[in-house]
Structure 1
């Protein structure tokens, strides 16, 4: 046998051994992060209205003819007529909303269509797939960076970046330092799930007696955020997310208590606001994986969501449809 033949046999053996090792590794550790899809940054082609045109094909009766945030004019001159109560409408909450909106300023974004007519947005989820991703610099290059709840930025900048255009939250998830985890001009966007959420915000803004009832976890009693940095998300987006992406009934009496997560809601909101929508850090471990953490910043597992009103597998299907239709793009493995 020639020397070349020996080398060929040795090479084939080494390749075969490597392939077996890779297969074994993936089977043994199926939830380890796979290579990340790095965005093209500034080279991403941004076509104004591109996401809007695609969303119409998937979401029935999709329209952008709705304000992003609630405005005082909706309740001052003529009360906004809503068919649903919170979280899908403002029926019965008009009076308290008027008092809150009188303190906060009118809708204004840190970025304008005049300065940049085409908006590239990324919705940064809280998932464990962001850990060790080194996506920080990529995330910082988007025009609008949306973050969720109490997900930290400080000490995680290399993986999640440090730019925050807006942060969607609810009172129970406001247990963070707004100055440490946000930029000075970041918008804090309240997602009101229930009337006590509005009562909490009103008490914070007016330094009134705090409400302690009606929360599944006590929200902060002191919360140092300027009124001009606070917005209230239009419940229309919660309605669209539940009724059109999750096909959940929102008409009373509601037998199904399933509610969208803040993450899926943020994606729906981004479809309304942006021309390019990318996501990062979305997705949960398989239900059989009891040890994998669900967040990049804390050691909790899927067990913590057992009593929640969220259906993570249902939401995963909705996100996959958006990905398959190329309405959104994922920067991390989903």
Structure 2
């Protein structure tokens, strides 16, 4: 049963300075008429990227959650992780019943519907993870939410939306050079949620607006959900820690050993998710 305001009231009791008084997405009016006084560059601010943001947001030209979602009296959300535990879960029909289904990066839907469902309300991604199929893995009205980890992420979005000369350097993996999506379906997540996830939920130390380790896209989606939804369920989160040969994702052959090269701190995120589960702020559809 969904109770309006339940997640917000529970989060406010245990998370310091928790507040929903922040815009969800970046908006053109914040950059076109005046320059925001942002102290830091991405990922916690937009300093130095204002001109590019103005151009990107002018092309996207839509900055809100659709009215049919916003007007829901109680928003039931599920964040679908990419973990191997989604495989053979048979959760597809259950996932599709939620009001808002949030997916991550390039996690596919096509051919995996029985386990992960077919509905996609929002897909959180960053340039290096934007290799999803817009037709098979998303719905026509799916919002594609860019999680900007660096200023080059905004530059990349500008080049693919405006068909300009592509940026070649500064990415840990080559991002797509073409993004066949409707520009009006693009959103850019407010850097506030990155700061909240890093400092409030993970306890990372910030030095001059910078952190050495950034939250994962999945953790960012959870951070967003506990600010926007009245019910937050998760599925497919958590990695096996006992065997480097264990598979990571439900859709490919990646194994735990490959995570050694990652800059993310998965054990800390697991502890933070465990705390959110223990406080009953979020609930889990799979084991964790």
| TM-score, length of structure 1 as denominator length | 0.84
- 1:321 and 2:265 equivalent? no
* 1:111 shift after superposition: 5.0
Does the Cα contact within 8 Å between 1:171 and 1:200 map onto a contact in 2?
Answer: yes
State the 4+ residue runs in structure 1 displaced beyond 4 angstroms: none
Name the residue aligned to 1:15: none
**Cα distance in structure 1, aligned partners of 2:233 and 2:61:** 29
- Structure 2 gaps of 5+ residues are none
* 1:253 shift after superposition: 7.1
Does the Cα contact within 8 Å between 1:88 and 1:250 map onto a contact in 2?
Answer: no
SS in 2 for 1:112: helix
Segment of structure 1 superposing worse, 127-136 or 303-312: 303-312
SS in 2 for 1:179: coil
Segment of structure 1 superposing worse, 81-90 or 200-209: 81-90
**Cα distance in structure 1, aligned partners of 2:128 and 2:207:** 26
Residue 235 of structure 1 is aligned with which of 157, 179, 191? Answer: 191
Name the residue aligned to 1:285: 240
Residue 304 of structure 1 is aligned with which of 258, 263, 271? Answer: 258
Does the Cα contact within 8 Å between 1:69 and 1:107 map onto a contact in 2?
Answer: yes
Name the residue aligned to 2:218: 263
**Cα distance in structure 1, aligned partners of 2:209 and 2:10:** 33
* 1:91 shift after superposition: 1.4
Does the Cα contact within 8 Å between 2:245 and 2:257 map onto a contact in 1?
Answer: no
* 1:315 shift after superposition: 0.3
- Structure 1 gaps of 5+ residues are 1-44
Residue deviations 1:294-317 (CA, integer Å, cap 9, x gap): 111111112212122101000000
State the aligned residue count.
288
Does the Cα contact within 8 Å between 2:147 and 2:189 map onto a contact in 1?
Answer: yes
CA RMSD in angstroms comes to 1.3
**Cα distance in structure 2, aligned partners of 1:283 and 1:246:** 15
- 1:163 and 2:119 equivalent? yes
Does the Cα contact within 8 Å between 2:233 and 2:285 map onto a contact in 1?
Answer: yes
SS in 2 for 1:228: helix
Residue 203 of structure 1 is aligned with which of 131, 145, 159? Answer: 159
SS in 1 for 2:136: helix
**Cα distance in structure 2, aligned partners of 1:302 and 1:93:** 36
SS in 1 for 2:32: coil
SS in 2 for 1:86: coil
- 1:146 and 2:102 equivalent? yes
**Cα distance in structure 2, aligned partners of 1:291 and 1:113:** 41
* 1:84 shift after superposition: 2.1
* 1:59 shift after superposition: 1.4
SS in 2 for 1:102: helix
**Cα distance in structure 2, aligned partners of 1:226 and 1:193:** 22
Name the residue aligned to 1:104: 60
- 1:272 and 2:227 equivalent? yes
Which residues in structure 2 correspond to 1:23-38 (within 5 Å)? none
SS in 2 for 1:205: helix
- 1:120 and 2:76 equivalent? yes
Name the residue aligned to 2:50: 94
